[in-house]
Chains A and B, each alone.
Chain A
Amino acid sequence: GIQVEQSPPDLILQEGANSTLRCNFSDSVNNLQWFHQNPWGQLINLFYIPSGTKQNGRLSATTVATERYSLLYISSSQTTDSGVYFCAAAGNTPLVFGKGTRLSVIA
């Protein structure tokens, strides 16, 4: 089945800094999603992006399906951005999750 790898595993940022999170996947995908897991464990949908580029406020994402990777950009980070960011991908099977990137934003 599809393999999903995320990097870096951990990231510490000063408030106001920008960051890029990467997701590599091993096969062609029909679904790719980015989630933010908040401290209470809720998975918050950030982007549904099997291909192309999307932006939502300070966040944007790009998926290059032909090269099998996706990037999540966070600009002007805030302490509320802290948490774990998951990438999940699906070919013809349900979502396979990466291990996540744990982001800590320090004031």
Chain B
Amino acid sequence: GAGVSQSPSNKVTEKGKDVELRCDPISGHTALYWYRQSLGQGLEFLIYFQGNSAPDKSGLPSDRFSAERTGGSVSTLTIQRTQQEDSAVYLCASSRGYLNEQFFGPGTRLTVL
């Protein structure tokens, strides 16, 4: 079956602009996660959605970052007023339930000029 998909695959933006990154999880997976991978910080958790529960936002680095998940499926990660330190690969993952095996998408490489 189809895996996790993300779009766009690459995004180049100017400092101060807003960006939206999209994630389509595996069908039937109730849990969805966002991570980012950067040279200095490795792979770090950002935010997690499980069913209709309130998301766990404990990993978001600042209030410029937000995410939503519509209809329990597609998720959008929004970064407002981008900064150069936001440059990273943003990875989305999904799982059947919380703490089950997670499967990752190919990522969106964000470059902030």
Contact = CB atoms under 8 A, between A and B. Distances in A.
Q: Do the two chains belong together in a single complex?
A: yes
Interface string A21-36: 0000000001101010
A69 B20 CA distance: 38
Interface stretch (A10-18, A37-45, A59-67): A37-45
Interface residues of A, number: 21
A33 B102 contact: yes
Query: What interface size band does chain B fall in?
Result: 20 to 34
Nearest to A45: B103
Contacts of A96: 45
Interface of B: 33, 35, 37, 42-45, 48, 56, 58-59, 89, 91, 93, 99-104, 106-107, 109
Interface of A: 30-31, 33, 35, 40-43, 45, 48, 86, 88, 90, 92-97, 99-100
Considering the complex of A and B, which 7 residue pairs feature the smallest CB-CB distances, nearest first? A48-B101, A97-B43, A43-B104, A94-B45, A30-B99, A31-B99, A94-B48
